[in-house]
A and B are shown apart, each in its own frame.
Chain A
Amino acid sequence: MEWIIEGDRPIWLQLYEQLTLRIIAGIYPMGGRIPPVRELAAEAGVNPNTMQRALAYLEDQGLATSNRTAGRLVTEDRELLDAIRLQLAKERIQAYLQGMKVLGYTEEEAKALLLKEE
């Protein structure tokens, strides 16, 4: 998965979202180790302090825990991960419906079209 930093929103927030996505996608599996700050920062081409802030927020949200010996680990709270996954899915569905509305489809037509899609 590529790191994408765009536009005008705070960089740390975008990094947080993409870290979350990586956890949901299983790139950093439950209970697994998240790479160290400097490594992640170099990979994403961002300032280490910015990456640090994103990781701190990840911990605030309960998605990761700091461990003195093992580094930073992904949470093992399956319920929390499922809830976030559902939340992200809903956002994508809303974006789809919004996009279809711009093209002139009603919500019903948009849903029907989606069901017909292979």
Chain B
Amino acid sequence: MEDNLIVCTDLSKRFGVQKALDCVNLTIGRGRIVGLLGPNGSGKTTWIKLLCGLLQPTGGSVTIDGEAPGVHTKSVISYLPDRMYFADWMVAGDLLDYFEDFYKDFDRQRAEKMCEALGIRAKDRIKSMSKGTKEKLQLVVVMSRQAQLYLLDEPIAGVDPAARDYILGTILTNYNPQGTVVISTHLIADVEKILDEVVFLKEGQIVCHDAVDHLREATGKSVDALFREIFRTAPYGGDFTGGENTWEG
């Protein structure tokens, strides 16, 4: 088994002239919980989609478990997309059937237990669920696989704080101990406690990749405070005289 689960070498992705990811070099080991942090539009979702093989890189390469994205990597990655992709005429039970058919590492019993804890019944129709309940259900099926790599794109953005705690607890207690979990989010204060390491993305580049406790020791700041410092944008103060207006250029 390869020691490093994810290896990115000069990984780049352009959309037209827009550089979404710019020469990313990154190695992530096994058994880690990694926070992928960055403001909106910093390339988080693009990076995750490249790992899943949903996007093709314009430069560089990525391997997962020693292989380029393909049949093998898809069997070891459990992916939570940033938006719902299930047919909404299904009921929750249909979705479990669907996952059971698709993935041989799917643990149906575990999924049913989690649904029960969250008050989701097998006959509940996805169409009539609230946004938060849909997200919970989606997380339940994704975490019920015994995957090597869980890629969770914004798993907690749409749910209330109590559900957030439940979801983070679910991630902590249900992930495969040899597996790695990557959580992309900008709600840092909520996830900070459960992370081993963080990757800060800014405009498609990595500005920081370190262990959480090492960062806290070295900077004397929480990751949340550090994030606010790195990504601070001065509020517009109504000063019309200074600077050039690039908007109309």
Contact = CB atoms under 8 A, between A and B. Distances in A.
Interface of A: 5, 7-12, 38, 41-42, 44-50, 53
Main secondary structure of the interface of B (DSSP, over half): helix
B107 interface: no
Contacts of B32: 49
B216 A47 contact: no
Question: Which 9 residue pairs of A and B lie closest in terms of their CB atoms, listed nearest first?
Answer: A10-B213, A10-B216, A46-B193, A8-B222, A42-B173, A47-B194, A8-B221, A10-B217, A49-B196
A53 B213 CA distance: 10
B116 interface: no
Interface in B200-217: 212-213, 216-217
Contact of A47 (B165, B172, B217): B172
Contact of A45 (B168, B220, B225): B168
Contact of B195 (A8, A12, A47, A53): A47
Contacts of B31: 49
Question: Number of contact residues on B: which range applies?
Answer: 20 to 34
Contacts of A42: 169, 172-173
B33 interface: yes
A38 B177 CA distance: 10
Nearest to A3: B193
23 contacts: A7-B222, A8-B216, A8-B220, A8-B221, A8-B222, A9-B216, A10-B213, A10-B217, A11-B193, A12-B213, A41-B172, A42-B169, A42-B172, A42-B173, A44-B193, A45-B165, A45-B169, A45-B193, A46-B193, A47-B194, A50-B196, A50-B212, A50-B213
Interface string B170-200: 0011000100000000000000011110000
Contacts of B216: 8-11
A50 to B, nearest CB: 7
Interface string B25-37: 0000001110000
A28 to B, nearest CB: 21
Given A8-B220, A8-B221, A8-B222, A45 B213 contact: no
Contacts of B169: 42, 45
Nearest to B226: A8
Nearest to A43: B169
A9 to B, nearest CB: 7
A45 B217 CA distance: 20
B76 to A, nearest CB: 21
A42 B194 CA distance: 10
B193 A47 contact: yes
User: Which interface residue of A9, A44, A50 has the most chain B CB atoms within 10 A?
Assistant: A50
Contacts of A8: 216, 220-222, 225
